[in-house]
Amino acid sequence: MPNASDRAAELREQLHHHNFLYYVEAMPVITDRDFDKLLKELQAIEIAQPELLTADSPTQRVGGQPIEGFKQVTHRLPMLSIENSYDAADLTKFDADVRKAAGKDEAIEYAVELKIDGVSLSLSYEAGKLAVGATRGRGDLGDDITHNVKTIPTVPMALKSASPPALFEVRGEVYMMRAELVRLNAALAAEGEEPYKNTRNLTAGSLKQLDPRECAKRKLSFCAYGVGAIDGVTVTSQSQLFDTLRGFGFVVNPFTKVCTGLDEVLAFVIEWNEKRKTLPYDTDGLVVKVNDFAIRQRMGATSKVPRWARAYKFEAEQGISKLGAVEFSVGKFGELTPVAQFDPPVELAGTTVGRASMHNASWVEKFDVRLGDTVVVEKAGEIIPQVVSVVLEARTGREVPLVWPTVCPACGAAVEKQETAISYGWFCSDTGRCPAQLTRRVIGFARRERMDIEGLGEEVAKQLVDAGLVKTLPDLYRLTREQLLGLEGFAATKAKNLLAGIEASKTRGLAKLLPALSIHSLGGSMADIFVEDFPTLDAVLAATKEQMASVKGFGPKRADSIFEFFHCEAGEKLVADLRELGLKLTHDKKAKPAGGLVLAGKTVVVTGTLQKYGRLEIETRVKDLGGKTSGSVSKKTDYLLAGDDAGSKLAKARELGVRVLTEDEFERLAAGESLL
């Protein structure tokens, strides 16, 4: 009879083999029950003799103890992004560049693979054992998420090799099947909770869990497509790399093809533009890579992207349906927003869409939207569904004009039409007591770019308001542990973390606090400008309307809104509460940028994922340089700052002749360098 050490080693080998057969080969040879028996036997040995537990043990996939926080990992080779293309003309130019670099006119081989819509991941194997799993982060530096990576069944704990290389870094995509999103949302719906929006966001959130047991519940998948630093193995082409990855035990997407020449690539693109809808996971394009690594070496890379690869992005998918009914949601200022319900629902980007926003009252009036209309529905970025137009030619005369409600759907108060300088549409009249308005204000107050209160999302905000614990924003700072523990879903740790997040928010300062208070016409960008002239709340309260109006970009209407907010009974009570609760009511002025206000009077649109900045950080950087940011590209746009996975905004900028900046060019511009 083998001793415990030998038996543990034998069980680990068997379990790794059966995991490989089940998740990679899809050819299991034992039942789930028999697999569980082997796993429990190994667990029993490791519990009895902890010294026999190894880092790559299959028992570690179920999730260990929570970690305190994320360490950062420096990638041995940067995780570069891939430049996007949107039509055959883009790929034709790419092909010409490749053939020029290769020094030959004949067709080049391209490895073409599906671009799975997930989260990039780097896996480092040392002497064949999984050592570190890390996010891409900013490209050169990512977060160590090894504790969560181990819970993904398709990530090998050890390379399937008798003589593994000394170092093998694998790059790939973590993603979630749509069926898993449906399962998780069904469970949330049963508890009355809001569903998750899409698989990509849920995947990213799962990987950022501090408790690996939570990540293990999400049933993520991993697909390998590339390598970083390697030592002890040689590959000379993408097709050979795929064979190597499969041999080591990784899942490689089966829908890959080595195409000879551009014509085959374009035919593959056309084929998968339709076939992708049949897949059980989300994709947003195809990746076209030069197959020969020697040619890749000659082409090289920029600081951000390899020159030997392109991502072909599918166009935003549209669908047509009938406007069957309309519901109305209530915003933080009491504004009613119409939400369309489709009859029948439409299939977009692999999901069934039954409802979508119709923007606002102005949009409804512009298109004269009527019940029974035929409407065009689109998923912006294949994520957020919205109605983009009405097919007027399809009207039969039986359509019914949209009727706005006379009472608030959330609180029953009267609905009033407002036509002022700062608001237009239908509004709930009970601003002080409407729970829907208060909930939206609490959500806005806690947002990352405002007071950044960890753990205070939409569902928690609704709980606090519905329970009567929060009737005004300052009530957040009066919450107690006992009150939170009385709410469903709140245990000691969750209550402690929320209270800590609320306490930490007291130090955010005036530039964050002002836009968090839901003052009409005072968003984050305008607040940043405002506090430079009025750096304390006392200065704000002492200012006249005329002084406020003289701030650059403000004017009388915005000044009236701010002045009236603070100089009314509710505003005075709010100020007193903020003082009593100890919030920071001052602003620390920033030093002037070294390159000067080089973006003064300029409008910048940011699209895609940047390597050095988060979205809030880059918007702040633009403001510090004197510019302003916008969410859409127009003839008035001065610059488009394009990061990775730039979408339709990049195409629109090119069409309008807007100057497109890389991140490096933006940094040079910020430093005062000429881009001519």
Catalytic site positions:
115
Amino acid residing at 526: M
Q: Is the dihedral of CA 628, 629, 634, 635 positive or negative?
A: positive
Please classify residue 210 by burial: count the beta carbons closer than 10 Å to its beta carbon, then call 0-12 exposed, 13-18 middle and 19+ buried: middle
- Residues 408-439 as b/e (b if ≥16 CB within 10 A, e otherwise) read bebbebebeeeeeeeeebbbbebeeebbbbbb
Q: How many other C-beta atoms can be found within 10 angstroms of the C-beta atom of residue 339?
A: 15
Q: Which two tokens stand for residue 568?
A: 């009314």
Q: How far apart are CA 25 and CA 168, in angstroms?
A: 22
In terms of Cα–Cα distance, which of 624, 613, 628 is closest to 662? 613
In terms of Cα–Cα distance, which of 56, 61, 181 is closest to 117? 181
SS (H, E, C) 494-545: HHHHHHHHHHHHHHCCHHHHHHHCCCCCCCHHHHHHHHHHCCEHHHHHHCCH
Q: Which two tokens stand for residue 95?
A: 């092909």
**What is the chain's Cα-based Rg?**
28
Does the bond joining 344 to the residue before it have cis omega, within 30 degrees of 0? yes
Per the document, the length of the chain is: 676
Q: Which residues contact 281 (CB under 8 A, 6 or more apart)?
A: 116, 117, 118, 175, 176, 177, 178, 199, 221, 350
